[in-house]
Amino acid sequence: MYSEKVMDHFSNPRNVGEIEDADGVGEVGNPVCGDMMTIHIKVDDGKLADIKFKTFGCGAAIATSSMITEMAMGMTIEEALEITRDSVADALDGLPPVKLHCSNLAADGLHAAIEDYLSKKEAGN
């Protein structure tokens, strides 16, 4: 049912955790629905220097979170904002149709963290 890449990211998730002095934090989903994700980012010179995630959810939710942190690491803010649910799913060699919303959650989580960073930056200026 899941691709080898999904199973790889599920069983060895990359970048799990939180960043204490994060520049941006995204929180999406809801434990009531069965999936929830937090993404912490550290931005250095307009680039994503560090990304950490925590996810409560199914195999696909964990794998998409892990994959998106790997994809976005080192990207500029602008590049990271271009990552879509489809690009995450494609990078995992696809997801079962019923699980596509999980990739949505990952993309939303990353974008929320970046928006948090941008709004904090704006408030600081």
Residue closer to another protein by CB (options 34, 46) is: 34
> Binding to another protein by residue 33, rule CB under 8 A?
yes
> Binding to another protein by residue 108, rule CB under 8 A?
no
How far is residue 5's CA from residue 114's CA, in Å, rounded to a whole number? 26
> Binding to another protein by residue 105, rule CB under 8 A?
no
Q: Is 58 a catalytic residue?
A: no
The token pair that represents 2 in the structure block = 């899941």
Return all residues near 88 (Cβ < 8 A) that are at least 6 apart: 64, 67, 68, 71, 103, 106, 107
Q: Which of residues 45-84 bind another protein (CB under 8 A)?
A: 54-62
Nearest distance in Å: CB 119, another protein = 21
How far is residue 20's CA from residue 72's CA, in Å, rounded to a whole number? 19
Region binding another protein by CB under 8 A among candidate stretches 28-36, 41-49, 78-86, 117-125: 28-36
Helices and strands (H and E) in the chain: how many: 5, 3
Neighbours of 107 (CB within 10 A): 22
User: Which one of residues 35, 51, 105, 106 is an interface residue with another protein (CB under 8 A)?
Assistant: 35
Nearest distance in Å: CB 7, another protein = 8
